[in-house]
Structures are given as C-alpha cells and as structure tokens.
Amino acid sequence: MKRNMIALLTLGLAVLAIVPPAIAHHSFSAEFDSKQQVELRGFVTKVEWTNPHVWFYLNVTDEKTGRTTNWGFEMGPPHGLQGQGWTRETMKLGDEIIVNGSKAKNGSNKVNARNVILAKTGKKMGAASSEGDAATQ
C-alpha cells in the first residue's frame, strides 16, 4: 500500500512538472496574423536568447513622422536558430537590422520574424519562425 502511494505521488509530481511548459507555449495563429506582413528596419536594443523563443527588440523610426518606437520580434527556439547558423554573437546591441514578418493580432508592437537581414553585411537569415515552414523561405 505504501509503495503504491509513493508511486502515485511520484507520477502526480511528474505530471505537474510537465503541464506548465506545455500550457505556456502558443501556436503562431494564436498571437500573429500571417495576412499582416511587415518589413521594419531599426537598431537592436535588446536580445533575449532564451527558450522557448528568442526575442529581440529594435528601435524603429517612422519615416513619415520621425517618431521612434520599440518593437519586439519573436524568433524560433535557440536550437532552431543554431541549425540555421545563428549564434549569440550574430546580432549585437546597436546593429542595424531589417526584419520581415507577421504582426501581432492585438495591434501591439510585436512581430513574428520570418527573415532577418543584417544591414552591415546584407546577409539574410531565417528566423526559425513558427509560421508553418517560413523559416526556410
């Protein structure tokens, strides 16, 4: 009886450990709209190289108004980016970047990045986007 109780308790704890990460992850279509494509150019202000997605932020200046706004860009997971040649040193603070991607459905300054162009070299890199097979385009 005691053995069964310990086994049941262990199983319960294992399930609890698995559930939060599964709930935290979202699908592309839950947050982003593939019909709202955007290309933005700006300067890197922050890079968060973490699971489940790498995020980076750019100061983007509107050509019409001259107003600068900080935008957040979601890329794929670190291992997906590494498979496409990314390292933690590929994008640095202050680098000028051009990003193609899909805007957030809620109208916030968030984009699911599809491709990133490093302005200083012109190198175009996939962003391991969660939008279908976009990372290879």
**Fold of the domain spanning 27-136:** OB fold (Dihydrolipoamide Acetyltransferase, E2P) (2.40.50)
Q: Inform me whether the pLDDT recorded for 117 exceeds 70.
A: yes
User: Which pLDDT belongs to residue 118?
Assistant: 95
The domain locations on the chain are 27-136
Beta bridge partner(s), residue 70: 59
Q: Look over the chain and give the mean of its residue pLDDT values, rounded to a whole number.
A: 84
- The answer on pLDDT for 69 being more than 90 is yes
User: Which segment of 17-21, 63-67, 108-112 scores lowest on mean pLDDT?
Assistant: 17-21
Residue 36 has pLDDT above 90, yes or no: yes
Q: Which residue has the tokens 């704890």?
A: 13
Confidence (pTM): 0.76
Cα–Cα distance list, 42 to 7, 60, 97, 113 (Å): 54, 4, 6, 14
